[in-house]
Amino acid sequence: MLELLYFFIAILVVLLVYAGISAYRLKKIVTNLTQEQFIEGYRKAQLIDVREPKEFDGGHILGARNIPSSQFRQRYKEIRPDKPVYLYDQSGARSSRSAMFLKKKGYTQLFQLQGGFKAWTGKVKSK
């Protein structure tokens, strides 16, 4: 019984270490911006909404292009690597994965909206 407890504790430690390393790597790849910081820079950058089309059509940040995370591997070349890339999704998970993918492809100026679209209180466009 004690061995089983040690086993679960070891698994938990490994998972926590992995989560910490992942968070550290992500922090080096993408810069999280508050809404105010995001607003300051997104007009001079490429604003990419990585949510699915139905979510995008329901409301998106004015000026955003929709490149859904499900199509990202096929469509990432639509994003210029020489200009800043501002990413967002509903809460931050998909935009983080998209940023990690872009970093592997050589993109260096990657930013994401802290809290995602659900935290956005700025201008919104709906279809």
pLDDT tens readout for residues 49-77: 999 999 999 999 999 999 999 999 999 99
93: helix, coil or strand? helix
pLDDT, residue 18, reads 60
Q: Are the beta carbons of 86 and 113 closer than 8 angstroms?
A: yes
pTM of the model: 0.79
Structural domain total, the chain: 1
Question: Which residues are bridge partners to 111 per DSSP?
Answer: 31, 86
Q: Are the beta carbons of 117 and 52 closer than 8 angstroms?
A: no
Beta pairing, strands 65-66 & 46-49: parallel
Burial (CB count within 10 angstroms: exposed 0-12, middle 13-18, buried 19+), residue 60:
buried
Distances (CA, A) of 66 to 18, 23, 60: 31, 26, 9
Asked whether residue 26 is domain-assigned, the answer is: no
Range of the domain at 60: 31-125
Which parts of the chain sit beneath pLDDT 70? 18-28
CATH of the domain at 87: 3.40.250.10
Asked whether residue 21 is domain-assigned, the answer is: no
